[in-house]
């Protein structure tokens, strides 16, 4: 019998105390401090989290770009979230699991989250060369069944040369698009990607925040 997947969540009440919003927020420090405050994040079974709007599952949502072009793909039938199958996306990411450097006795879940970002991208696509990682925004969308139980943290991975190939079957129609091409395909996108496309210029210019050190743009030299 397969073990039930455990995912990182916060109680919806913690999000509400920080100040609920719909769509995209650039107040990164405020929400990151609320999400990763001691005693707030914890793991729970994914089936329970998916069915309860009392919790928000924390999802890294990574935009990969060289500054002028962006990685885009369509979620195939093997996608973990079946409600998003067939939609175009500009965000790579997924759930944070206990395997991601889980603290043994509570503690700071920021490193757990940081490891999950690296793992999720590495599982889904191969990124050539070096990149930097910056948190630019957060996404909340209570207008959809999926959005009500998830909270997105938007990362910008900036690379010198946009060389990306897929590693998972759920990644289909992988392509590189300009901002104009993304806007032309907006109506085929999942809601989180529509939010990002609508605010793409601001996302690229945002000073953002870092979930670990205070430096807002952390160099990551791992080779893919």
Q: For residue 142, count CB atoms less than 10 angstroms from its CB and return exposed for 0-12, middle for 13-18, buried for 19 or more.
A: middle
The pTM score is: 0.87
C-alpha–C-alpha distance, residues 153 and 24, integer Å: 10
Mean pLDDT is lowest, of 14-23, 166-175, 183-192, for 166-175
The model's pLDDT over 98-119, given as tens digits with 9 standing for 90+, comes to 875 555 455 678 988 998 999 9
- Which CATH code is given to the segment(s) 6-209? 3.90.79.10
- For residue 189, give the 3-state DSSP assignment: strand
The model's pLDDT over 33-76, given as tens digits with 9 standing for 90+, comes to 999 999 999 999 999 999 999 999 999 999 999 999 999 999 77
Expressed in angstroms, the distance from the first to the final Cα of the chain is 33
**Residue 224 pLDDT grade (very low, low, confident, very high; cuts 50, 70, 90):** very low
The mean pLDDT of the chain is 85
State the pLDDT at residue 210.
Answer: 52
State the pLDDT at residue 48.
Answer: 95
State the pLDDT at residue 13.
Answer: 97
Q: Are strands 171-178 and 88-89 parallel, antiparallel or unpaired?
A: unpaired
């Amino acid at each position: 019998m397969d073990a039930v997947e455990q995912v990182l969540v916060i109680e919806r009440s913690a999000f509400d105390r920080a100040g609920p919003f719909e769509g995209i927020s650039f107040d990164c420090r405020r929400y990151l401090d609320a999400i990763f405050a001691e005693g707030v994040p914890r793991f729970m079974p994914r089936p329970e989290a998916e069915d309860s709007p009392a919790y928000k599952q924390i999802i890294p949502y990574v935009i990969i770009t060289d500054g002028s072009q962006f990685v885009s793909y369509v979620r195939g039938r093997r996608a973990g979230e079946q409600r998003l199958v067939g939609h175009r996306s500009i965000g790579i990411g997924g759930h944070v699991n206990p395997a991601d450097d889980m603290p043994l006795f509570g503690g700071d879940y920021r490193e757990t989250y940081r490891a999950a970002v690296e793992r999720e991208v590495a599982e889904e696509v191969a990124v050539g060369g070096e990149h930097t990682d910056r948190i630019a925004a957060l996404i909340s969308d209570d207008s959809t069944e999926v959005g009500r139980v998830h909270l997105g943290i938007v990362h910008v991975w900036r690379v010198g040369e946009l060389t990306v190939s897929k590693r998972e079957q759920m990644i289909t129609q992988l392509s590189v698009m300009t901002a104009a091409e993304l806007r032309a395909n907006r109506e085929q996108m999942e809601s989180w990607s529509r939010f990002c496309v609508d605010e793409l210029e601001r996302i690229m210019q945002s000073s953002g925040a870092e979930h670990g050190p205070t430096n807002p743009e952390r160099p990551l030299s791992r080779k893919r």
